[in-house]
Chain A
Amino acid sequence: MKRADHQRAQQFIDACQVEGISPEERTWLDSHLSACEPCSQHAGATERAIQAFRSVHIDTDPALVQATQARVRARAREIHEEAERMRPVWISAVLALVVTVASAPYIWQGLEWLAGKFGAPAWVFQFGFFWFWLIPCLVAAAALAGGLLGEQHAERFQVK
């Protein structure tokens, strides 16, 4: 037998375990192993190594499982409470946006009328209208900031 045959056989032995070999390669390998002692020993050593690896047992601590379950439950409660706390804020922000959009034409007309009545220049009521539009954005920003602060608080809480 040539040296290349032994190399090929040993490559197939490893490939069997890693990614598999074709039926033709299997047949060739089996016939080589039946006639070659060193390659048979190599196959045996590979099998033993994998068996040894599979036999490694890890000790686990039941207290760790319980502690983890308790920690996860506590965190789930926190997340739930956070969502509950934020809900009215988001509802208010959405309502504010809806009311703003719906009342925009009236506010525009009202401010225009007021500006005309007091002889103020157009930019004054336009500036007022700009702030009126900005309110829902400010509410939403405040809600978001509140949420982020809440999350930061929760993260601080979970540090052991």
Chain B
Amino acid sequence: MSTAAFFYISVMKQENAEIVQGLRRRNPDLLDQLIERYHYRLMRYLLHLTGNRETAEDVFQETWVRVLERGHQYNGKAKFETWLFSVARHLVIDLFRKKKPASLEVLRGSGEDTGPIEIESTGQPSPFEFAVGREESAHIGLAMGHLNPVYREVLMLRFQEELSLNEITRVVDAPLPTVKTRLYRGLRALRSRVEEAGLESEKS
């Protein structure tokens, strides 16, 4: 192992140990810092998962309350964000169980081949339409909005969060072959959506 990798792992372990201790003591200052540090990534994950800003914001708050209440369950062995995302994911599943059982099946993975689903239609633009930074971002945002959430979730964990396959299995609570299948199918779907979006933007 290189010195840099060893240094990185030691720093990460030290950080995780501090988070474990702070969460056990329910230290509000630590929670303030964690909310500040992880708010963007958690919100991005929830938007990918729910496809709805209002729902994502509700679950966002609920997730941090849950982190406060059940913080003692985080043991520091995995990255904090993998535990955070799995807490958020459980809350989304609970919410869908109450609201729309069909959406829940898709998140559980049993509806993987059913194509895109409408989790909630509010008549407002998809959160991915708020994508900025590139000219074709509106088209890309639309393309993302049309991806099946179960694919969007693993693609986000792999390509934005840069999690390993094993870390993804922990977040989505699914076996490795399932995660790989979702990633391969998601990548295929993403490629064709982005190509279509590219063609659309060239036309317009």
Q: With an 8 A cutoff between CB atoms, is A100 at the interface? A: no
Stretch in B83-91, B102-110, B114-122, B157-165 with 4+ CB within 8 Å of A: B157-165
User: Across the interface, do B190 and A49 meet the contact criterion of CB distance under 8 Å?
Assistant: yes
User: Across the interface, do B158 and A14 meet the contact criterion of CB distance under 8 Å?
Assistant: no
**B27-54 CB contacts (< 8 Å) to partner A:** 28, 31-32, 35-36, 39-40, 43-44, 47
User: Across the interface, do B195 and A72 meet the contact criterion of CB distance under 8 Å?
Assistant: no
Q: With an 8 A cutoff between CB atoms, is B188 at the interface? A: yes
Chain A residues positioned under 8 Å from B44 (CB to CB): 58
User: Across the interface, do B159 and A57 meet the contact criterion of CB distance under 8 Å?
Assistant: no
A52 to B143, CA, bound (A): 10
User: Across the interface, do B133 and A53 meet the contact criterion of CB distance under 8 Å?
Assistant: no
Interface size on B, residues (CB 8 A): 50
A18 to B178, CA, bound (A): 13
Stretch in A30-38, A75-83, A132-140 with 4+ CB within 8 Å of B: A75-83
Stretch in A1-9, A61-69, A90-98 with 4+ CB within 8 Å of B: A61-69
A76 to B64, CA, bound (A): 11
Chain A residue nearest to B31 (CB atoms) is: A72
A58 to B184, CA, bound (A): 24
User: Across the interface, do A57 and B131 meet the contact criterion of CB distance under 8 Å?
Assistant: yes
Chain A interface SS verdict (over half): helix
Chain A residues positioned under 8 Å from B134 (CB to CB): 55
Contact surface of B with A, Cβ cutoff 8 Å = 26, 28, 31-32, 35-36, 39-40, 43-44, 47, 57, 60-61, 64-65, 67-69, 127-128, 130-134, 136-137, 140-141, 143-144, 155-156, 158-160, 165, 180, 183-184, 187-188, 190-191, 193-195, 197-198
Would you mind naming 20 contact pairs between A and B with Cβ atoms under 8 Å apart?
A: A18-B180, A19-B183, A45-B195, A49-B193, A49-B194, A53-B155, A53-B194, A56-B141, A60-B39, A64-B43, A71-B61, A71-B65, A72-B28, A72-B32, A72-B64, A73-B28, A75-B65, A75-B68, A76-B28, A79-B26
Q: Which 7 A-B pairs give the minimum distances between C-beta atoms?
A: A49-B194, A49-B191, A18-B183, A58-B44, A52-B140, A56-B131, A76-B28
A53-B156, A54-B159 are known; give 9 further A-B pairs, CB within 8 A: A18-B183, A48-B198, A50-B159, A52-B194, A55-B137, A58-B44, A64-B57, A71-B65, A79-B68
